[in-house]
Amino acid sequence: MRSRPGAFFRAWRVETTHREEQHISEPRINDRIRVPEVRLVGPNGEQVGIVRVEDALRLAQEADLDLVEVAPQARPPVCKLMDFGKFKYESDMKAREARRNQAHTVLKEIRLRLKIDPHDYGTKRGHVERFLRAGDKVKVMIMFRGREQSRPEMGYRLLQRMAADVAELGYIESNPKQDGRNMIMVIGPHKKKAEAKAEQRRKREDAESPSETSVDQTHVDDTVVNERPADQTPVDQTAGL
């Protein structure tokens, strides 16, 4: 079976483009810098000036560092003397930390009935507060049944009541609106997801690490209170009577 004439060329072109993208994603270093002169920056950020690339490579070799192109679009390109392996490791660690702290807001949903009893309402409100503390949005939905659809103002008042009860944790992001047999309102948190996660992590760490200083001080105080010198004799308060 013969392949189409341009199939091999297209595959070679895609592979070549992929390799070029991999090279572009990383800065050029040392011998890969193919320009006659560069604007050189020292390892501590000091400006060396415009030098020939051969002299910049020689300075990098004498300092046991790498010559890294940090601004290829400049004329001439800006290069810096640095430990490229250490720089790449620190960059990877920062990117990993950023991904770990990155959080996506989730839209939670709470459903209410128009004739909800006080106990169930308190339970639903607790769920809304918990979601808002975690930095998530909450979609509060009232489901109308039968003739309840003719009383949308009651559902509006119930949603406004819920928003007022959790006003310290969230705000009305989307006002109540009718959607068929349902009425929907979205409450957004005051704190962002990342801030909420950081606060929860800090509280968990504080709870797991008890204060050793206070324990030691209590032990010392108990020892002082219970201690009595061996040669001290109790004084008879009735001796002078």
Residues sharing a CB contact under 8 Å with residue 87, sequence separation 6 or more, in sequence order: 68
pLDDT for the residue 210: 58
pLDDT for the residue 16: 46
User: Is the pLDDT reported for residue 47 higher than 60?
Assistant: yes
pLDDT for the residue 119: 94
For the chain, what is the mean pLDDT? 78
Interval 110-128 mean pLDDT: 93
User: Is the pLDDT reported for residue 238 higher than 80?
Assistant: no
- The share of the chain scoring above pLDDT 90, in percent, equals 41
Write out pLDDT tens, residues 190-222: 887 777 777 777 887 888 765 544 444 444 344
Q: 170: helix, coil or strand?
A: strand
User: Is the pLDDT reported for residue 1 higher than 50?
Assistant: no
**Peptide bond preceding 76 in cis form (omega within 30 of 0):** yes
Interval 142-169 mean pLDDT: 92
Range in 11-25, 94-108, 123-137 the model is least confident about: 11-25
The DSSP code for 241 is -
The residue among 202 and 66 whose pLDDT is bigger is 66
Domains observed in the chain:
12-83 (3.10.20.80), 107-193 (3.30.110.10)
In which region does residue 146 sit, left (phi positive, over 0), alpha (psi from -120 to 50) or beta (all else)?
left
Write out pLDDT tens, residues 26-35: 788 898 888 9
Cα 59-63-67 angle, rounded to 5 deg: 55
Judge contact between 125 and 165, C-beta under 8 A: yes
User: How sure is the predictor about 25, in pLDDT bands with cuts at 50, 70 and 90?
Assistant: low
Q: Which helix (H) or strand (E) holds 109?
A: strand 107-113
Cα 151-157-159 angle, rounded to 5 deg: 110
Most confident of 48-57, 92-101, 102-111: 48-57
pLDDT for the residue 138: 95
pLDDT for the residue 102: 65
Interval 95-114 mean pLDDT: 81
Task: Give the integer Cα–Cα distance in Å for 184 and 75.
Answer: 57
Range in 22-26, 74-78, 136-140, 198-202 the model is least confident about: 22-26
Judge contact between 166 and 125, C-beta under 8 A: yes
